[in-house]
Amino acid sequence: MPNQIQYDVIILGAGAAGLMSAITASKRGRKVLVLEKSNKVGKKILMSGGGRCNFTNEFVDSDNFISQNKHFCKSALNGFSSQDFVNLVDQHAIEYEIRKRNQFFCQGSSKNILDMLLKECDAGGVDIQTHTEINHIRNVVCNENNEVHSFISANRFVLEGTFKLGSNQRYIEYSCKSLIVATGALSVPTLGGSGYGYDIAEQFDLSITEKYAGLVPFVFTDSLKPIFSRLSGVSTLVQVECNGHVFLENMLFTHRGLSGPAMLQISNYWSSDDRLLVNLIPNVDPGKELVRIREQGDKRLIRSYLTEYLPKSLVIELQSMWWPKHSELPINKINPSELINIGYKLNNWIIKPSGTEGFRTAEVTVGGVSTDGINSKTMEVKNQPGLYFVGEVLDVSGQLGGFNFQWAWSSGFAAGRVA
């Protein structure tokens, strides 16, 4: 007989959502255990925001999330708002800065946020155990001595049972009345990304929506690849558009393609075969301007005029693609229709990525456990009392800017206040 370890609430995964669930449940006097498969807790928190953790955003709205049910996230986001998280950060006297007028980052390091969560767990008497990978779950009905009385066959019987968990700790069996699945998603396997949450969902007859890598750089294999590779490290402000979504952010050239906030944001809305519409000089009509300065007798070359707006190395590459014949001609000697044509290309560059870098580098997994079977106020599975899903494992994925952590805090709180 394996050793029986019993808790009121067991949480799978010591990431952002799992730790927030643990804090909230422990404040209600629940005996809480967090089981984490890796050697450390909160790995993604530590790596986030370039080491400064973009922990929330001032303006959080359901429009900042992708989900098959756009309304699902609203209740949890209202129940624990970005201001609630900022209040917690303030209570712990963690210094932060607000970037781009709405993104909250630590001034020191991401570790401040993880330390804060662990202190809160400690205050609530939460037990956290690393190196424990749960690989087997049964939902059973027990008698008063915690002995198994009968098995519950997943969704077929809607009964309040006890969850029995088997793990790599072979001689221990964990049991609990409330089981919170906070195992995250597929993005960045080296930081704990795992598909185990989806297996649990399927075991309990929940469906999984299509999943793909989000907030991820694009790769190119066509003639643009060597050009982007030569420009690697160069960044410029662009407006990018795909499937009706538009972002005005920086774009970064890389050895393999395109990255930077503009490309990460639009990747959430991109599917294979889609093209991206890139405006290299947003809010300026360079065709019109070129014609105007031509009429004033401007003798500069097009590339000299464009370096007012774009990095020189980029202008040189664009020149080779779009106006090689006019490269050494002064603007006042170029036909106006040619200038308008060049300006149009600068405002409407259509490019087709061959793919993305995939889950290896994606900040988030778009899609996940379908919200159809989940109660939006509590994150509890509708047909399985006591079972909860929180955080990135669910089909709720945020844009860049602190929204994914806010979803982890809010959904973790929603489950923790009832589990």
Ligand X SMILES: Cc1cc2nc3c(=O)[nH]c(=O)nc-3n(C[C@H](O)[C@H](O)[C@H](O)COP(=O)(O)OP(=O)(O)OC[C@H]3O[C@@H](n4cnc5c(N)ncnc54)[C@H](O)[C@@H]3O)c2cc1C
Residue nearest to ligand X according to CB distances in the complex: 15
How does strand 162-167 pair with strand 218-219? unpaired
Among 33, 53, 219, 302, binds ligand X (CB under 6 A): 53
Instruction: Confirm or reject binding of residue 329 to ligand X (CB under 6 A).
Output: no
Residues 6+ apart with CB under 8 A from 402: 54, 55, 56, 57, 82, 103, 104
Q: How far is the CB of 103 from ligand X (least distance, A)?
A: 8
3-state secondary structure of 133: coil
Instruction: Confirm or reject binding of residue 49 to ligand X (CB under 6 A).
Output: yes
In angstroms, the CA 295 to CA 237 distance is: 28
> What are the b/e assignments for 92-113, b being 16+ CB within 10 Å?
eebebeeeeeebbbbeeebebb
Using the minimum distance from each CB to ligand X, give the nearer residue, 184 or 217.
184
Q: Which stretch binds ligand X (CB under 6 A): 180-188, 202-210, 286-294, 295-303?
A: 180-188
Cβ distance 201 to 215 under 8 Å?
A: no
How many C-beta atoms lie closer than 10 Å to residue 382's C-beta? 14
Instruction: Confirm or reject binding of residue 37 to ligand X (CB under 6 A).
Output: yes
Among 7, 10, 13, 264, binds ligand X (CB under 6 A): 13
Instruction: Confirm or reject binding of residue 133 to ligand X (CB under 6 A).
Output: yes
Instruction: Confirm or reject binding of residue 21 to ligand X (CB under 6 A).
Output: no
Using the minimum distance from each CB to ligand X, give the nearer residue, 317 or 363.
363
Burial tier of 296 (Cβ tally within 10 Å: 0-12, 13-18, 19+): exposed
Report the site for ligand X in 357-396 (rule: CB under 6 A): 363-364, 391-392
Tokens of 243: 């499937």
Using the minimum distance from each CB to ligand X, give the nearer residue, 211 or 326.
211
Report the site for ligand X in 199-258 (rule: CB under 6 A): none
The DSSP H or E segment spanning 124 is none
Q: How far is the CB of 396 from ligand X (least distance, A)?
A: 10
Instruction: Confirm or reject binding of residue 187 to ligand X (CB under 6 A).
Output: yes
Instruction: Confirm or reject binding of residue 191 to ligand X (CB under 6 A).
Output: yes
How many C-beta atoms lie closer than 10 Å to residue 16's C-beta? 30
Among 217, 261, 402, 416, binds ligand X (CB under 6 A): 402
Spatial CA neighbour of 310 closest among 274, 343, 338, 277: 343
Q: Which residue has the tokens 């800065």?
A: 97
Instruction: Confirm or reject binding of residue 294 to ligand X (CB under 6 A).
Output: no
Instruction: Confirm or reject binding of residue 188 to ligand X (CB under 6 A).
Output: yes
CA atoms within 13 A on the CB side of 27: 13
In angstroms, the CA 411 to CA 76 distance is: 6
Q: How far is the CB of 343 from ligand X (least distance, A)?
A: 37
Backbone dihedral angles phi then psi of residue 265, each to the nearest 5 degrees: -60, -45
In angstroms, the CA 33 to CA 8 distance is: 8
Q: How far is the CB of 229 from ligand X (least distance, A)?
A: 23
Cβ distance 251 to 349 under 8 Å?
A: no
Cβ distance 210 to 234 under 8 Å?
A: no
Q: How far is the CB of 151 from ligand X (least distance, A)?
A: 22
Instruction: Confirm or reject binding of residue 38 to ligand X (CB under 6 A).
Output: yes
Among 404, 414, 416, 419, binds ligand X (CB under 6 A): 404
Q: With contacts defined by CB under 6 A, how many residues of the chain interact with ligand X?
A: 38
Among 184, 343, 353, 368, binds ligand X (CB under 6 A): 184
Instruction: Confirm or reject binding of residue 118 to ligand X (CB under 6 A).
Output: no
Given the rule CB under 6 A, which residues bind ligand X? 12-18, 35-38, 43-44, 47-49, 53-54, 133-134, 182-184, 187-188, 191-192, 194, 196, 363-364, 391-392, 402-405, 408
